[in-house]
């Protein structure tokens, strides 16, 4: 098989997350959080990929007689079974710590009165009760939870919402030194006779409908994109049903009626457990610190000069998040806002925090007389609404806001500051691998490069000029960067050239080596180029966190290619590209994965690390990751990942390395 299917690869990554929830060396509450992440990832997969899979399944070729749609369904069902077993184990261990999550069991009599009182005092305020027959129409809202029952004497389906979008999913009760967490789902089940009065329904089953999350922006080049995105966001929750997740114990008679009454004939039907939306497990919180990861040390970047900009005139600054404090990034923006010689601040925004200090600083900078221009990507999936809110707030404060380029997403993570004195104009910039988001910076591993190097920033200045013009066909713009790798202008071509150079070294008998760490590898053209390199004698080591369509270790195709992934305490997000180049190695960082969407349909920025000290540092970091013998695994079930000499845990070793 030349390529691995992207959807089964995505599910493979999510299974690795699930396996981390089962890891004995992870504290119990943190294991619950991995279960939460698994559930959240699966929900996103259902909303983003299953509609496409369902639409294409008739046209898809068979793989061993099984369609991709069937294979995906079987994989999800197997993972759900493993999920249930893992959760049961964690709950049993938590009970020994006097943390009792009531799961498929009756509440102790000593807290039953508390639960029933909570039903009337709180939950009942948000209940919407419906009775439906075959002629009724009912629209289950996207990702909302419902209980359904069958009133057989009247041939009706009884429906009530589980109001977790209004109140906490769990009621916490402290009793006799124990902490109880009761699902509000079960409090409803305890009170069915008070909800479906006189219906004689004694049992209820949970369901959830996931709807298509894609935004359909026809004729994107015309009209007001802001208005179109805003309209589509409101429609997202009323889109076509992609998946019905239902309690496996539900009788077939109820399931068949639900399909008809809810209009779910074309949705993928997936058996689940008693509870859905178990991403809510991340809301479980207790006071016992031993049930959490120990507090991680965070490294201060020591600035030797009075001002960060003075430091950047003398040398570059490279931060590795979350191992370094984010304060240095915030300081960059704050200095730019206050410095009387700073005249311009230009920035791209893909995902901001809901409480973004950076956005507030940009507002202050505009108030301080700076010319502030922010390019806001309106099509950042699931962050569209937050981006619109911040964009409008910044615009009202005097920040110039530029919204999305038609048919392109701007995914670059860059900032450019212009500082003018009587003698000259100086440029300062940030080029990064992750979003300018103070919250995700606490648990995403990323790299932030601050510099005043003209060769990089002159290219960045030209890019912002292109973005400000907002051409409809940006890929046709006459712009060839001299130092940066910018999609869609030269990024793909430059990576091809770098791979071809390694091929030439290998054919000349020199050692040739490529080592890359990123999130996704899906573009078939680049994969074929890597296969070509492997067959030419280039050794290739890849660390791909999530989707990987490259099939490693195949004779005559990819014998010299290894692929692994790391799933640990922090979400691996940083992108590092290393090319041996006959001993004169080159190292790049950037925002782009090797996916078709990144290199052909987005504006991305990757950049060479020119400082020799930081090139060495990033090479060492790659060594640390590719030598992980604890959390690094192969991407295929039959693949055993063999680390190098060091069998440490990469994220732990990172602190040790950077703290020196």
Q: How many CB atoms lie within 10 A of CB 531?
A: 22
| Cβ atoms 472, 406 nearer than 8 A | yes
DSSP E strand stretches across 369-453: 371-376, 400-403, 409-410, 414-420, 425-432, 444-451
| 3-state secondary structure (DSSP) of residue 472 | coil
Instruction: Return phi, psi of residue 635, to 5°.
Output: -90, -10
DSSP 296: P
CA distances from 224 to 235, 377, 558 (A): 17, 14, 47
| Cβ atoms 344, 370 nearer than 8 A | yes
DSSP 123: G
Token pair recorded at residue 315: 């040398």
DSSP 294: P
Rounded to whole angstroms, how far apart are CA atoms 567 and 544?
10
CB proximity list for 201: less than 8 A, separation 6 or greater: 149, 150, 151, 158, 192
DSSP E strand stretches across 404-475: 409-410, 414-420, 425-432, 444-451
Which among 143, 411, 447, 505 is annotated as catalytic? 411
What b/e readout covers 542-554, taking b as 16+ CB neighbours within 10 angstroms?
bbbbbbbbbbbbe
Which residues is 179 bridged to in the sheet?
99, 174
| Cβ atoms 449, 318 nearer than 8 A | yes
Strand 99-102 and strand 170-175: pairing?
unpaired
| Cβ atoms 521, 546 nearer than 8 A | no
Rounded to whole angstroms, how far apart are CA atoms 87 and 18?
10
411 among known catalytic residues = yes
Helix (H) or strand (E) holding 585: none
Rounded to whole angstroms, how far apart are CA atoms 79 and 160?
28
Query: Which active-site residues does the annotation give?
Result: 411
């Amino acid at each position: 098989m030349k390529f691995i299917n992207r959807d089964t690869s995505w599910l493979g990554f999510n299974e690795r997350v699930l396996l981390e929830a089962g890891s004995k060396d992870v504290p119990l509450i943190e294991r619950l959080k991995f279960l939460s992440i698994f559930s959240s990832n699966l929900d996103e997969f259902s909303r983003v990929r299953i509609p496409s899979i369902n639409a294409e399944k008739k046209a898809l070729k068979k793989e061993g007689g099984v369609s991709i749609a069937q294979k995906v369904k079987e994989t999800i069902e197997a993972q759900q079974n493993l999920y249930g077993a893992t959760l049961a184990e964690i709950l049993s261990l938590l009970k020994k710590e006097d943390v009792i999550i009531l799961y498929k069991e009756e509440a102790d009599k000593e807290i039953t009165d508390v639960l029933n009182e909570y039903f009337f005092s709180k939950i009942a305020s948000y209940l919407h009760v419906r009775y439906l027959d075959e002629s009724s129409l009912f629209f289950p809202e996207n990702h909302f939870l419902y209980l359904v029952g069958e009133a057989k004497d009247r041939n009706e389906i009884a429906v009530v919402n589980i109001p977790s979008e209004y109140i906490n999913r769990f009621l916490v009760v402290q009793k006799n030194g124990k902490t109880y967490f009761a699902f509000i789902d079960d409090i409803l089940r305890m009170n069915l006779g008070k909800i479906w009065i006189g219906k004689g329904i004694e049992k209820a089953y949970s369901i959830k409908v996931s709807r298509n999350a894609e935004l359909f922006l026809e004729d994107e080049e015309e009209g007001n994109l802001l208005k179109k995105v805003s309209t589509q966001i409101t429609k997202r929750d009323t889109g076509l049903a992609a998946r019905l997740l239902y309690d496996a114990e539900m009788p077939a008679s109820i399931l068949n009626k639900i399909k008809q009454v809810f209009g779910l004939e074309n949705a993928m039907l997936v058996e689940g457990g008693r509870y859905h939306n178990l991403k809510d497990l991340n809301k479980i919180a207790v006071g016992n610190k031993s049930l959490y990861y120990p507090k991680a040390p965070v490294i201060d970047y020591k600035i030797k000069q009075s001002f960060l900009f003075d430091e950047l005139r003398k040398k570059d600054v490279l931060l590795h998040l979350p191992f370094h404090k984010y304060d240095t990034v915030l300081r960059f923006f704050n200095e730019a806002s206050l410095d009387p010689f700073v005249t311009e601040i230009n920035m791209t925004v893909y995902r901001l925090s809901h409480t973004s200090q950076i956005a507030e600083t940009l507002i202050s900078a505009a108030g301080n007389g700076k010319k502030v221009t922010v390019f806001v990507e309106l099509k950042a999936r699931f962050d569209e609404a937050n981006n619109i809110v911040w964009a409008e707030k910044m615009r009202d404060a005097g920040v110039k806001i530029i919204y999305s380029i038609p048919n392109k997403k701007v995914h670059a993570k860059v900032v450019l500051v212009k500082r003018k004195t009587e003698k000259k104009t100086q440029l300062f910039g940030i080029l990064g691998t992750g979003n300018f988001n103070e919250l995700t910076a606490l648990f995403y591993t990323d790299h932030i490069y601050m510099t005043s190097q003209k060769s990089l920033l002159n290219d960045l200045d030209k890019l912002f000029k292109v973005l400000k013009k907002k051409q409809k066909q940006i890929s046709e713009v006459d712009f060839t960067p001299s130092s940066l790798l910018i999609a869609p202008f030269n990024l793909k071509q430059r990576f091809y050239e770098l791979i071809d150079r390694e091929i030439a070294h290998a054919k000349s008998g020199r050692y040739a080596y490529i080592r890359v760490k990123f999130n996704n590898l899906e573009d078939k053209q680049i994969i074929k180029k890597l296969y070509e390199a492997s067959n030419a004698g280039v050794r290739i080591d890849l660390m791909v966190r999530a989707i990987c369509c490259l099939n490693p270790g195949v004779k005559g195709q990819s014998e010299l290619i290894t692929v692994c992934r790391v799933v640990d305490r922090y979400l691996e997000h940083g992108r590092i590209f290393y090319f041996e180049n006959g001993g004169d190695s080159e190292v790049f960082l950037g925002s782009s994965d090797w996916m078709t969407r990144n290199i052909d349909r987005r504006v991305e920025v990757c950049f060479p690390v020119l400082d020799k000290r930081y090139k060495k540092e990033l090479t060492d970091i790659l060594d640390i990751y590719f030598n992980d013998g604890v959390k690094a695994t192969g991407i295929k079930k039959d693949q055993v990942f063999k680390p190098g000499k060091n069998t440490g845990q990469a994220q732990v070793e990172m602190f040790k390395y950077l703290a020196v």
